[in-house]
Amino acid sequence: MNGVHDMGGMDGFGKVEAEPNEPMFHTRWESRVLAMVRAMGAAGAFNIDTSRFFRESLPPHVYLSSSYYKKWLLGLEDNLIAKGFVSKAEVAKGHASEPAKPLKRGKFTAGDVERVMVRGKFGRDAQAPAKFKAGDRVRAKNIHPATHTRLPRYVRGHVGVVERDHGVHVYPDSAANEAGENPQWLYTVVFDGAELWGPDSDPTLKISIDAFEPYLEKA
């Protein structure tokens, strides 16, 4: 979706301000939000792509004015309500009043913690031969799906070169819609600064994205 989360190349957000000696969490609730998202994801309530899509779907003014973990909380509430794990009324009351919906992998307990401390596996077996190889010139398609995609706007329509092939991975554009993993080849594609930003671009700049095969066409 063409949302405000897709920020690459936007102007006007100001300087990068690093906080000296930044703590891992600024308040206790931030850590609870992170833990709830990880626990509910690991228990099978949603996949990582769905979780991202709910955060991207927050209204633009809410997205831009909320802290990182506030976005996570709002996305989590919307996600769990949409999937029927809780009702709006329960969230408002702060107490359960309706039966629970079974989780794919059951209740999350202390024994599951080690599992969430290693990132999931996204590599899959190939369904078809790769269409591209390192060195190929490719164009990022000019597509604008209204649903979740990992093709940032700033590369669409532009030509780059395939640098690396990462094998076949779960396709977020399908997984986010609960339409299955639909595994696709994944490539690192490199673009020259001037191709993306025009003649005034920094001449020493190259930018790469990791692009799923359906995002690309031969150039």
Subset of residues 172 to 211 that bind other proteins, contact rule: CB under 8 A? 172, 186, 188, 190, 196-197, 201-202, 204-211
Integer Cα distance of 34 and 32 in angstroms: 5
Closest approach, Cβ 219 to other proteins, in A, equals 19
Are the CB atoms for 203 and 193 separated by under 8 Å?
Answer: yes
Looking at residues 124 to 143 of the shown chain, list those that interact with other proteins (rule: CB under 8 A): none
Longest dimension (CA), the chain: 61
Among residues 35 and 134, whose Cβ is nearest to other proteins? 35
Looking at residues 35 to 74 of the shown chain, list those that interact with other proteins (rule: CB under 8 A): 35-36, 38-40, 43, 45, 52, 55-56, 64, 68, 70, 73
Task: Rule CB under 8 A: choose which of 59, 60, 84, 120 binds other proteins.
Answer: 120
- Per CB under 8 A, 151 contacts other proteins: yes
The dihedrals phi and psi of 56, each to the nearest 5 degrees, come to -65, -25
Closest approach, Cβ 95 to other proteins, in A, equals 6
At 41, which amino acid appears?
G
Closest approach, Cβ 137 to other proteins, in A, equals 18
Q: Which of 184, 150, 179 is nearest to 168 (CA)?
A: 184
Are the CB atoms for 39 and 116 separated by under 8 Å?
Answer: yes
- Per CB under 8 A, 158 contacts other proteins: no
Among residues 43 and 162, whose Cβ is nearest to other proteins? 43
Among residues 65 and 127, whose Cβ is nearest to other proteins? 65
The dihedrals phi and psi of 212, each to the nearest 5 degrees, come to -75, 150
Integer Cα distance of 16 and 29 in angstroms: 25
Among residues 107 and 137, whose Cβ is nearest to other proteins? 107
C-alpha dihedral sign at 101, 30, 54, 150: negative
- Per CB under 8 A, 81 contacts other proteins: no
Closest approach, Cβ 135 to other proteins, in A, equals 17
The three-class DSSP label of residue 3 is coil
State the number of CA atoms in the 13 A half-sphere of 46 facing the CB: 26
